[in-house]
Structure 1
Amino acid sequence: MIKMILQGMIVGIANIIPGVSGGTMMVAMGLYDKLIHSITHLKSEFKSSMKLLLPIFFGAALAIVILSRLFEFLLQNYPIPTNFAFCGLIVGSLPFILKKVKGSNPVKSSNWIPLLIFFAIVVGMAVIGEDSGSAQRLQVDLLQFLVLLFVGIIAAATMVIPGVSGSMMLMLLGYYETILSYVNQTVDAITSFDIPAFINCCMVMIPFGVGVVFGIFAIAKLIEWILMRWETSAYYAIIGLITASPVAILLKTDWSQSSIMMIVIGLISFIAGWFVASKLGDE
């Protein structure tokens, strides 16, 4: 139980960081197939599914609530070692995913073409994407409610796909810092018992949260369907997404603070991230 909560926290942390994929972290820890199965068979296998989903989702939510402010601070003040640490987590996932395609022919067109296509998609997103921008306060009307619902669906769908960063998609949609700010405002409102502020935050977080839940369940069924029909090609596409993620992160990193010492610390952070991924992954 404790290990699953910790694994869920790693997934939650990954979903906070632009360029880092929560789905990749699921792959790294051997959770991905089991989690997709539990989501898509929730009704028919309710008890066993909830036994896995509850600690994972609890850990993810706990990490997002507790650590969103910390990682906002780290990315603003120590972007190089922070991003290197998450590159290490991603690289640590590769041995697990490579086992999925062991024995296959990598030069087969149905394998290397999806790998290259999805590698290019992630790097292209990093190149053309803008920074998260400044947080903005939202006046929620019916149109904004529908927009937040749509943003939640897109974010959740991309969070589930290994190698694709839901938070990077939020950046591309211009909602990353806004949602992160409202998460922190919600925590502040709860801890200070500020009811009006809490209600205001709920007007944003509820439609976004509903979109997230819908997106997770909808995309999980699609992924399961794809894996049942084109498993090897799908995993090569995932490898392309995973290998592109560190490139995307480094492209988005603020290098203005770079120095020899900062690079050394970054390399140590990379090794630490790789170590964590290898220990939390299933053999």
Structure 2
Amino acid sequence: MNFVLDIIKGAVIGIANVIPGVSGGTMAVSMGIYNKLISSITHLFKQFKKSIAALFPILLGCAVGIICFTYAIKYLLGNQPLPTCLTFLGLILGGVPMLVREMKKGIRKNRGGRVTVFNISAFVILFAFAIILPLLQGSEDTLKTLTATPGTIVLLFFLGVIASATMVIPGVSGSMVLMVLGYYYGVINSITSFVDALKAGNWSAVMSQAAILVPFGIGAILGIFLISKMIEYLFAKHTVSTYAAILGLILSSPFGIFYNTNALTHFSVAGLIIGLILMFAGGYATYIMGEKNA
């Protein structure tokens, strides 16, 4: 049962990583598997079998979520942006009680029940950061078709490092960073083109798209490993401030969601009602998942 549940949670994380403004790291925190995910990555070589057993269902679900939702995202955000964004808003906010509970534990343990100026500063700075980051992107989407030139391959490697590093940090959207840099649609189009070519048995196209996705994937793996080490250190040495910063990122993430998707410009009463129902359902589901891992 836990194996299947971890696959489902991984799929949600994968879907979140596809949507600009939604953080896969936030989803991992909300569903109570963030610490397990980070620990498994950072102890991969020391506890290889245990780490692989923990990571496999999550990564399997994540891959399924990414592949499936790259197709669905165009339809959902193109035709039903408001209900879609409200659903993810619920999924994110449903995990806030668990995060607050963990931060309170850290305060009682490390600070004797006191909140410091440093804790508050961490919250404010990261809250502001998550508001400012979406504003840095251009008003027009940049549509790119990537080709596997030597320069592009090197660039994609570093983009993978940057994107995966931000995906691991709760509250920060790796896909939004890619959009700011102008390569979001290029990567998304490469994924869908790769899958389409694979289904059609067009091996020339498969290899062409693989030449784009493999360096990006290698960079992503390296980025996740490096940033996970840093996150583990912060949780161990600066627990309360780290949770405060993450809480600031999470509470400001709704701005990124609605700003990047222009969901509010597609307002309708029916869309609002459906969206609110899905938001509460998603929030409740995330809350229950987090409680199971409390």
Task: Give the TM-score, by structure 1 length.
Answer: 0.96
The 5-angstrom pairing of residues 30-69 of structure 1 reads 30-69=32-71
The reply to whether residue 6 of structure 1 matches residue 8 of structure 2 is yes
- Per the TM alignment, residue 277 of structure 1 is displaced from its structure 2 partner at its CA by 1.0
Partner of 1:76: 78
Between 1:80-89 and 1:96-105, the stretch displaced more is: 96-105
Between 1:173-182 and 1:129-138, the stretch displaced more is: 129-138
The reply to whether residue 200 of structure 1 matches residue 200 of structure 2 is no
> Matches of 1:148 and 1:131 in 2, distance apart?
23
How many equivalent pairs are there?
283
Partner of 2:19: 17
Q: Pick one of 266, 269, 272 that aligns with 2:275.
A: 266
- Per the TM alignment, residue 107 of structure 1 is displaced from its structure 2 partner at its CA by 4.8
- Per the TM alignment, residue 135 of structure 1 is displaced from its structure 2 partner at its CA by 3.0
Partner of 1:252: 260
Q: 1:131 to 1:30 in 2, by over 3 A?
A: farther
Contact persistence 1:39–1:220 (CA under 8 A): yes
Contact persistence 2:20–2:257 (CA under 8 A): yes
The reply to whether residue 226 of structure 1 matches residue 241 of structure 2 is no
Any gaps of 5 or more consecutive residues in structure 2? 108-112
Partner of 2:110: none
Between 1:87-96 and 1:137-146, the stretch displaced more is: 137-146
- Per the TM alignment, residue 106 of structure 1 is displaced from its structure 2 partner at its CA by 6.8
Q: 1:259 to 1:106 in 2, by over 3 A?
A: farther
> Matches of 1:223 and 1:251 in 2, distance apart?
28
Between 1:116-125 and 1:244-253, the stretch displaced more is: 244-253
Between 1:198-207 and 1:257-266, the stretch displaced more is: 257-266
Instruction: Could you list the structure 1 runs, at least 4 aligned residues long, displaced by more than 4 angstroms after superposition.
Output: none
Partner of 1:127: 135
- Per the TM alignment, residue 280 of structure 1 is displaced from its structure 2 partner at its CA by 2.3
Instruction: State the secondary structure of the residue aligned to 1:129.
Output: coil
- Residue identity in the other structure for 1:174: G
Contact persistence 2:145–2:189 (CA under 8 A): no
Q: Quote the sequence identity (%).
A: 40
Q: Deviations over 1:60-119 (max 9, x none)?
A: 001111221012210111111101111111101101111111153575211110100000
Instruction: State the secondary structure of the residue aligned to 2:103.
Output: coil
Any gaps of 5 or more consecutive residues in structure 1? none
> Matches of 2:178 and 2:140 in 1, distance apart?
8
Instruction: State the secondary structure of the residue aligned to 1:102.
Output: helix
- Residue identity in the other structure for 1:143: G
Q: Deviations over 1:219-275 (max 9, x none)?
A: 001111222211111110000011010122122232332122222222112112212
> Matches of 1:83 and 1:141 in 2, distance apart?
36
- Residue identity in the other structure for 1:98: V
Q: 1:106 to 1:137 in 2, by over 3 A?
A: farther
Q: Pick one of 170, 174, 181 that aligns with 1:166.
A: 174
Partner of 1:280: 289
Task: Give the TM-score, by structure 2 length.
Answer: 0.92
